[in-house]
Chain A
Amino acid sequence: MIDTLVWIMVFILLALMICAIARAFVGPTATDRLVSMNLFVAYSVCVHLLFSHLADAWIYLDVALVFVLAACVASVAIIRFLDRKLLR
């Protein structure tokens, strides 16, 4: 019963991920794209967590952990890169 709900949630989250990626294509400035990348990371962490429940393989939790850390470092690196005014 609850597995069905979790599957439905996974598909809704995939649709929302497509929305976030579309915003990254449309967004007029580089910071808009950064915002949508941040949102995309949050969605994909949630999909990882739901998969770890569905597959009953909690090793996916570590994947989510590393994903969050790598996304944080990537965001900070891109922001430092933006400070040099190389992107528009």
Chain B
Amino acid sequence: MPKMEIAAAILLILSVLVFATSALGLWRMPDFYCRIHTVGMTDTLGIFALILALILLTGDLLVGVKLVFLGLMILVINPVVAHLIGRAGYERKVPTARKRQEGKK
């Protein structure tokens, strides 16, 4: 097994661990703001690790450039969309977990 494939395998395992973290956070976090925090962070890192692994696996220059382009686009789009969703939730006054508990008492 060449060295490139070992590095790619490590990056792939890292990315799947990060993705598992994000799905876990989606289920375990108490309210909307915590969820958007988890998902917005981990998405970008996971896709980036996967793109890096695929760049290592392929030898083609055109494919590598296209993958880098895809990575840059995700790097711009993903945080912006996360910010917009968070702002929309804030403007709609989605309650935090503490607020909901205080309302219950």
Contact = CB atoms under 8 A, between A and B. Distances in A.
Looking at chain A, what size class is its interface with the partner chain? 35 or more
Main secondary structure on chain A at its contact with chain B? helix
Interface residues of B, number: 45
Interface of A: 1-2, 5-6, 9, 12-13, 16, 19-20, 23, 29, 31-32, 34-36, 38-39, 42-43, 45-46, 49-50, 52-53, 58, 61, 64-65, 68-69, 72, 75-76, 79, 82-83, 85
Interface of B: 1, 5, 8-9, 12-13, 15-16, 19-20, 22-23, 26-27, 32, 35-36, 39, 43, 46-47, 50-51, 54, 57-58, 60, 63, 66-67, 69-70, 73-74, 77-78, 81-82, 84-85, 88-89, 91-92, 94
6 tightest A-B CB contacts, nearest first: A31-B89, A42-B43, A16-B23, A19-B23, A72-B77, A75-B81
